[in-house]
Amino acid sequence: MLQLDICLRRYKQQYAAKAVRSENVLDTKDNKTRNKEKNRDYSQYFQTTYTPPSLKDAKKRGKEQTQILKDFTIPENLKNIGVGKKFYIRTYGCQMNEHDTEVMAGILNEMGYDVTDTSEDADVILLNTCAIRENAENKVFGELGHLKHTKANNPNLLLGVCGCMSQEESVVNRILSTYPQVDMIFGTHNIHRLPQIIENALFSKEMVVEVWSKEGDIVENLPRKRKGNVKGWVNIMYGCDKFCTYCIVPYTRGKERSRHPQDIIEEVRQLAREGYKEVTLLGQNVNAYGKDFEDLNYGLGDLMDEIRKIDIPRLRFTTSHPRDFDDRLIEVLAKGGNIVDHIHLPVQHGNSDILKLMARKYTREHYMELVNKIKVAVPNAALTTDIIVGFPNETDEQFEETISLVKEVEYDAAYTFIYSPREGTPAAKMKDNVPMEVKRERLQRLNSVLNDISLRKNQAYIGKVVEVLVEGESKKNPDVLTGHTGSNKVVNFKAPKHLIGEIVKVKITDAKTWNLGGELVVEKSEVVS
Ligand code: 5AD
Ligand code: SF4
């Protein structure tokens, strides 16, 4: 484990000291050598005078047990430090980051800070970053560029970078050398240290870097400011041990570690008491839930079977890995009730050789077997997936297998991505002979096949009555309300605003590729979810 508290000024001083020492030595040298030394790139000292986060260390998986910490407190002297001040958090990437943002908002609230939804009037700005693809990272660097002006207008502002990008040494180095407007960088394992990190940044006004490259603990009693009071995320596990060859997550999020069932169940009960309508059990690979318990034989199926008995109208889980999706879970999903009939089952590719290169540890045939089992057990299940195109050296024939798999499964929707090499992952070392133009064409063709299927599946809803959890006004038209079915279809319809937060029946009258339109139903009808 590396704990890195870095004060840039201290290192600048060290650098200066080194430079001065060099000058002294140079006094004895001739002018030619002296000029050469003067032109040397001293930025290296910034990189050698602190131990950077290390993807190599983050990859290690030891035998020691996960520590469960329950003693989080905010030190007395920091409890009111934010009174009269505001924070703004911009979240990039997946639901795990949304979850972390809720925790950081909870901590900041307890320090006296209020939330604001614009960066202009914030005293603390945090960018909770995503490292999964290069374009996600570029967005953050772009935003840091914009925030330079905000920082110049308000020198007291604290600007922080956290989330997955902070776990990468190349990112930390780039921020140190190019973005001096940043006041703090902290990692995914350091969120519970936010009060101390802010204190350091406030009082020293130096760039504070605290990134632990470790397997990770579980911190149980962190405060939380949830977004809304209708849908709640409940983390059931952290990290990932799958090490798919293209993916940075196992390096940025640590090892798979499951929360104790009792802690999860208590959290869901609390949400039920507070009137939440939907709970999503969250993890990078939820199907591995419980595999790290040493003295308990208990998996995701067992957990879902207990949680479904809690009085919460909708229960979801994400994200699944096909490899660990077992029969016990399928048996529990088949019980239906409050467990929604939507399963997100990332396939990534339709060709077994590419799946092998991706280290997904299943073949196309295994995946199809699983899909067919799910379809038999949960006949109404809407299936969605993640797909990568343009993995190194993907041939036309291999890509066509992705197309044929998509047609065979008939996904309701999919997230599709062009492969993006991630430094430090095994796939990034693979030579690639597929031009970007070909990758783009493949992505377009895949999306067009997926869209045709989505539209056809949505059209089958016309005339049916569905249950919709009303989430708010449509962004395009405030007279229209919007929400999701259990099967995760977006439904837009006109209805009074007091229904926001309720589950209502809607008759579908219109189907598009990405959403359904309908009319609010008052009388009782046949209902599909
Ligand atoms: N390039 C492109 N897509 C990726 N994903 C993960 N890593 C990469 C990468 N290096 C996709 C996978 C995953 C989703 C969250 O992001 O499809 O399921
Ligand atoms: Fe990444 Fe694979 Fe883990 Fe998903 S299962 S987070 S794709 S390594």
100-120, pLDDT tens digit by residue? 999 999 999 999 999 999 999
**15 or 506: which leads in pLDDT:** 506
Chain segment 412-453, per-residue pLDDT in tens: 999 999 999 999 999 999 999 999 999 999 999 999 999 999
- pLDDT, residue 205, reads 61
pLDDT score of 10: 40
Q: Which ligand is nearest to the Cα of residue 349, counting in written order?
A: 1
CB of 147 closer than 8 Å to CB of 179: no
**Residue 487 above 90 pLDDT?**
yes
What pLDDT sits at residue 66?
A: 87
Distance 249 CA to ligand 1 centre (A): 9
Nearest ligand (C-alpha, residue 238): 2
525 pLDDT above the threshold of 90:
no
Q: Is the model's pLDDT at 524 over the cut of 70?
A: no
Rounded Cα gap, residues 331 and 494, in angstroms: 38
Q: Choose the residue to mutate in 246, 282, 434, 450 for probing ligand 1, maximizing ligand atoms within 8 Å of C-beta.
A: 246
In the prediction, which pLDDT does 522 show? 83
CB 236 within 8 A of CB 282: yes
pLDDT bin (cut points 50, 70, 90) of residue 375 is very high
Where residue 203 falls among pLDDT bands split at 50, 70, 90? confident
Which among 438, 455, 386, 396 has a CA at the least distance from the CA of 416?
Answer: 386
Q: What is the 3 state secondary structure string of 79-114? A: CCCCCCCEEEEEECCCHHHHHHHHHHHHHHHHCCCE
Residue closest by Cα to atom 5 of ligand 2? 242
**Nearest-atom index, ligand 1, CA of 248:** 7
Q: How close is the Cα of 143 to the center of ligand 1, in Å?
A: 22
Q: What are phi and psi of 274, to 5 degrees?
A: -80, 0
- Do 493 and 480 touch, CB atoms closer than 8 A? yes
pTM of the model: 0.89
Q: How far apart are CA 330 and CA 356, in angstroms?
A: 25
Q: What is the DSSP letter of 336?
A: -
Q: Which atom of ligand 2 is nearest to the CA of 386?
A: 7
Q: Which ligand 1 atom is the nearest neighbour of the CA of 346?
A: 18
Q: How far away, in angstroms, is 245 Cα from ligand 2 center?
A: 9
Does 12 score more than 50 pLDDT?
no
Give percent above pLDDT 70 in the chain: 88
pLDDT digits (tens, 9 = 90+) for 226-285: 999 999 999 999 999 999 999 999 999 999 999 999 999 999 999 999 999 999 999 999
Tell whether the model's pLDDT for residue 394 goes beyond 70. yes
